[in-house]
A and B are shown apart, each in its own frame.
Chain A
Amino acid sequence: MNRRHATRGLLALALVAVAYVVWRGREGDDERAVGARIEALRNDINTSTSDGLGAVAHATQIGSYFTENMVIELGEGTSPIHGRDTLIGIAARLQTRTAAFRLELDDVSVEMVPGGRAADVLLTASFVRRVASTGEESRDAREFSLVCEKDAGTWRIARVTAIDTLR
């Protein structure tokens, strides 16, 4: 095999690798829409507001990402949160405390349920907090499973369940 063949072979290999990465990264419109919605929720949570009415408006905005009868299960030792109104109330009250945190989402995978009206989402959520005294950041990462539903053309979260990676 001469040098020209080797060059062509390597170029072909590189093209195959690029094609593989593109193929793995492909997703449909609904998957993209669900992913974008979750990303928008993250951005809204990270936009903190701690003053009176602003906090309520902010909590309502966060609540709009969830269905009316949503359920959040955070696992052992905590009661499930039932209903969007309950969530908005909790979000408004916790506003000053959550402002100290930054939410990061990684490894978000979206899988459509047959029928296209619902989607299962798996992700890792990290709550990052900067320690004022040392300037260091502490990270608390947890895995979550979400069920999203399409409601009047908009994807909303119907169920959030914390997964115990270590049991």
Chain B
Amino acid sequence: MTLTRRIVFGRNPRRTLVRVLVLAVISFVTFGWVLIPVRAEGISMQPTFASGSLHFVSRVAYRYRRPFRGDVIAIKLAGPHVLYVKRIIALPGERIAFIKGQVFVNGAALAEPYVRDRRLWDVPEVQLTAREYFVVGDNRGMRASDHDFGRVDVSRIIGKLLF
């Protein structure tokens, strides 16, 4: 066996083939159904996530528990290739409002250490249904009209951003 063949196929080509197949199946399952790599684009999640940064979405995070307030989640649009990345600030059944940039959940001010700049957003109180979460990006220095935020149905949540 020549050196090149040995480097490419290993000492035992059959074993190498098995290893390659195992690796391919593990990668296919992991990055198709368990951990989805996503690249953040845009400024709505700054300063937590910079535009262009790479992250992973866990699709199994909510298999055994419901999303918590403060979780950063991935939300599908027509499919899984373009996603919104937002933070949950209100849970199903809660009431939420923005008054001069401050978030109020069920009438109580919500502490948001992840927000740096705040514009004076005003959003009338919204009552969430049993299937709805309220999501928003961390960049509140933007004008509210330039920022996508609001109620999202639980069926659109595909997972939690891990890092």
Contacts and interface: CB of A to CB of B under 8 A. Distances in A.
A167 B150 contact: yes
A143 to B, nearest CB: 4
Interface in A3-20: 3, 6-7, 10-11, 13-14, 17
B46 to A, nearest CB: 12
B135 interface: yes
Nearest to B81: A106
A108 B80 CA distance: 11
A157 B25 CA distance: 40
Contact of B156 (A6, A106, A165): A165
Contact of B152 (A11, A138, A166): A166
A17 B28 contact: yes
A48 to B, nearest CB: 22
Interface residues of A, number: 28
Contact of A10 (B22, B52, B77, B152): B22
Contact of B77 (A6, A136, A141, A167): A141
A124 B42 contact: no
A162 to B, nearest CB: 11
A98 interface: no
Contacts of A138: 41-43
A137 B25 contact: no
Contacts of A3: 14-15, 18
Interface in A132-155: 136-139, 141-144
Nearest to A4: B14
A107 interface: yes
Interface string B75-87: 1011111101010
Contact of A143 (B14, B21, B77): B77
Contacts of A142: 77
Contacts of B152: 165-167
A124 B78 contact: yes
B51 to A, nearest CB: 6
Contacts of B21: 10-11, 13-14
Contacts of A165: 75, 77, 84, 148, 152, 156
Given A106-B78, A106-B82, A107-B80, 16 more contacts: A3-B15, A7-B18, A106-B81, A107-B78, A107-B79, A107-B81, A109-B79, A123-B78, A124-B77, A136-B51, A141-B77, A144-B78, A165-B148, A166-B148, A166-B150, A167-B152
